[in-house]
């Protein structure tokens, strides 16, 4: 897959650089692995806005991805490489030996017809899934579990991978894409390789309307609002806020530590990303 540019015949195409989708092998997704995706407009179950500047956008159906590695001990074959509107990477449709089909995030370089394996006895090849204790040092992995059996949480977006640096006392030292080094239990599953569609970072939408298709609405800065709408609003002329940057509810935006002390996740970080 590559990036295509356009002749600058309109302001929207002058700076647009979009994907070509040439590596896809199927247009319509597997119907049995689709479900509805209702719009929430950035609101939670109480109807309160928790994510600002969300609303509208094109209709989508959710593709059910097997992040939980449910086919351990089986072999499968890649049938198609497909587009997923809900993520930046591509997805692959796998037909397993038991006849069932599942979607998983496709690594770079994988093509239809490729055989993949899942389980402790899987070979050291791109696209195969196995526990971290079986992954050689220095290998790149993606779709990594944070807790055994809880499903993949780490390194899932386009062009991303984490690296196995060391193994010690039942834990694996995993270097995140951000540079953070974290301890992960060696029983956690991961997939060898790097998420495909690495050119995604070079995409330039070219116009504001493309963001509206994605359900992203305009967002105004805090300092240009009225005092009734934001603590940093108000003032004569172009004022700069008059206080430390904060949210609309007064929470400090820079320097405030928000990590929960009771949660043990922070104790497993060996090296911070900063």
Report the DSSP beta bridge partners of residue 19: 3
On the CB side of 180, how many CA atoms lie within 13 Å of its CA? Answer: 14
Distance CA(48)–CA(145), nearest Å, equals 31
Tell me which of 64-68, 132-136, 162-166, 238-242 is least confident. Answer: 238-242
pLDDT at 266 over 80: no
Torsion of CA 262, 264, 267, 270, to 10 degrees: -140
Domains of the chain with CATH codes: 3-201 (2.40.50.140), 222-267 (4.10.950.10)
**Neighbouring C-beta atoms of residue 253, cutoff 10 Å:** 11
Calculate what percentage of the chain has a pLDDT beyond 90. Answer: 86
Name the 3-class secondary structure at 209. helix
| Sequence-ordered alpha helix ranges (H) in the chain | 11-14, 208-213
84-88, 105-109, 200-204, 268-272: range with lowest mean pLDDT: 268-272
Q: What is the mean pLDDT of the chain?
A: 93
pLDDT at 26 over 90: no
3-class DSSP state of 32? helix
Of 269, 70, 72, nearest in space to 184 by CA: 269
- Separation of alpha carbons 13 and 10, rounded Å: 5
In the block, tokens 């040092």 appear at 137
Instruction: Yes or no: say if 107 and 193 are a contact pair by the CB < 8 Å rule.
Output: yes
Q: Is the pLDDT of residue 274 over 80?
A: no
DSSP per-residue codes, 121-167: T--SSTT-EEEGGGSPTT-EEESEESSTTS-EEES-STT--EEEEEE
Please give the distance of CA 82 from its chain centroid, rounded to a whole number: 16
For residue 265, what pLDDT band results from cuts at 50, 70 and 90? low
Residue listed under structure tokens 């400090």 = 252
How would residue 263 be classed by pLDDT, with cut points 50, 70 and 90? Answer: low
216: its two tokens: 């992203």
- Average pLDDT of the residues in 46-60: 94
Statement: residue 116 has pLDDT above 90 = yes
pLDDT of residue 107 exceeding 90, the answer is yes
Q: What is the pLDDT of residue 264?
A: 62
* Beta bridge partners of residue 36, listed in sequence order: 61
Are 197 and 1 contacting, i.e. CB atoms less than 8 angstroms apart? yes
DSSP state of 183: E
249 CB contacts (<8 Å, ≥6 apart)? none
What span, in angstroms and rounded, lies between the C-alpha atoms of 82 and 94? Answer: 11
């Amino acid at each position: 897959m590559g990036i295509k540019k356009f002749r600058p015949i309109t302001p929207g195409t002058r700076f647009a650089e979009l994907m070509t989708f040439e590596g896809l092998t199927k247009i319509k997704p597997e119907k049995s692995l689709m479900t509805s995706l209702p719009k929430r407009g950035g609101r939670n179950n109480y109807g309160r806005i928790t994510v600002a500047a969300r609303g509208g956008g094109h209709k989508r159906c959710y593709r059910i991805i097997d992040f939980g590695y449910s086919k351990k001990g089986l072999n499968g074959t890649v049938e198609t490489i497909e587009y997923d509107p809900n993520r930046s990477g591509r997805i692959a449709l796998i037909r397993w030996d038991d006849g069932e089909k599942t979607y998983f995030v496709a690594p770079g370089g994988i093509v239809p017809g490729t055989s993949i394996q899942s389980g402790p006895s899987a070979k050291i090849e791109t696209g195969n899934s196995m526990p971290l204790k079986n992954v050689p040092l220095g290998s790149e992995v993606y779709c990594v579990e944070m807790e055994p059996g809880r499903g993949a949480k780490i390194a899932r977006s386009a062009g991303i991978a984490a690296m196995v640096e060391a193994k010690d006392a039942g834990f694996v030292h995993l270097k995140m894409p951000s540079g953070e080094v974290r301890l992960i239990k060696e029983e956690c599953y991961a997939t060898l390789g790097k998420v495909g569609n690495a050119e995604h970072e070079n995409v330039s939408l070219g116009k504001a309307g493309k963001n509206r298709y994605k359900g992203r609405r305009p967002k105004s800065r805090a300092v240009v609002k009225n005092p009734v709408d934001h603590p940093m609003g108000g003032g004569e002329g172009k004022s700069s806020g008059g206080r430390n940057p904060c949210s609309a509810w007064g929470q400090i935006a820079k320097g405030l530590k928000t990590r929960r002390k009771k949660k043990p996740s922070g104790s497993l970080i060996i090296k911070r990303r900063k």
